[in-house]
Amino acid sequence: MSSRINSLEQNIQLKEQTMVRTKELTLDEISTEVVMKHLSSFLHNNLEGVMSDYTNESVLITQDSTYTGLEEIRAFFTGLIMHFPQQMSNLVLDQLVANKDLVYVVWHAKTPSLQVPIGSDTFIIKDSKIYQQTFVGQLNFTNQ
């Protein structure tokens, strides 16, 4: 399990290392870096890092509810992140597509309390922050 997380972390670290470059980043690259940083913060259970990707104007839409602003988005992630303990979670990023300020990801995960055979997020990035996000996933909670 941890080998896949380590692989994703190595990819994220590699992307962070390549940020030191002389050419100007494209909008695709900037948007991808914001999302990869966001995923890294989530996988490291860094709630403050996750929240630093949003603003008071950010909106997160899920199949259950719409969360607007930092307080509501924090409440959503506080509840979700507890199901992804850092050393016992396996999240695999299956696809990432960036088109300017729009980023689409598909992933799956397995944790001690949750199985997600498919999850998907769409992000709209504005000024290097998550301006709008949608999330849908098949969340199968397991009994502990």
pLDDT in tens, 31-61: 999 999 999 999 999 999 999 999 999 999 9
- Give the span between the Cα atoms of 79 and 72, in whole angstroms: 11
pLDDT in tens, 80-137: 999 999 999 999 999 999 999 999 999 999 999 999 999 999 999 999 999 999 999 9
Alpha-carbon 61 to chain mean position = 14
Strands (E), 2-128: 54-62, 66-68, 90-99, 102-110, 114-126
Residue 143 is predicted with a pLDDT of: 73
> What is the CATH classification number for the domain harbouring 125?
3.10.450.50
2/123: higher pLDDT: 123
Domain holding 42, by residue range, is 2-141
Q: State the CB neighbour count (10 A cutoff) for residue 78.
A: 12
Amino acid at residue number 71: E
Which run of H or of E encompasses 133? strand 129-137
Q: What is the pTM of this model?
A: 0.84
Strand pairing class (140-141; 90-99)? unpaired
Amino acid at residue number 123: F
DSSP category for residue 82: T
Domain count, the chain: 1
- Give the span between the Cα atoms of 117 and 133, in whole angstroms: 20
